[in-house]
């Protein structure tokens, strides 16, 4: 768990922390090369959010700094 994840989950009740983690794991980031990773596994938190932002991220697979589409996997 990253520092920001530890801080956020420690500030809220345990049930909210579990919900935060579960929801962040449903949000996926996809690279142009096809590699996908959850926001939580990438070290982030996306909780009670909407929209599909595009973020510039270093891909763990291809090693390129590319725009990653964020979407919710239901």
List pLDDT tens digits, range 35-72.
999 999 999 999 999 999 999 999 999 999 999 999 99
CA distance 12 to 18: 10
**Strand pairing of 27-30 and 65-72?**
antiparallel
Could you give the residue ranges of the DSSP H alpha helices within 1-71?
3-11, 14-26
Q: In this structure, are residues 71 and 26 in contact, taking their beta carbons and an 8 Å threshold?
A: no
CB atoms within 10 A of CB 60: 11
What average pLDDT score do residues 23-40 get? 96
State which residues form the domain around 44.
3-72
Place of tokens 């909210």: 16
Question: Looking at residue 74, what is its pLDDT?
Answer: 84
> How many domains does one find in the chain?
1
């Amino acid at each position: 768990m990253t520092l920001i994840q530890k801080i956020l989950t420690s500030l809220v009740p345990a049930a909210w922390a579990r919900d935060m983690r579960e929801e962040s794991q449903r949000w996926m980031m996809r690279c142009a090369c096809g590699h996908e990773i959850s926001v939580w596994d990438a070290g982030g938190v996306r909780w009670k959010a909407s929209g599909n932002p595009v973020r510039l991220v270093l891909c763990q697979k291809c090693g390129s700094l590319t725009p990653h589409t964020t979407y919710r996997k239901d």
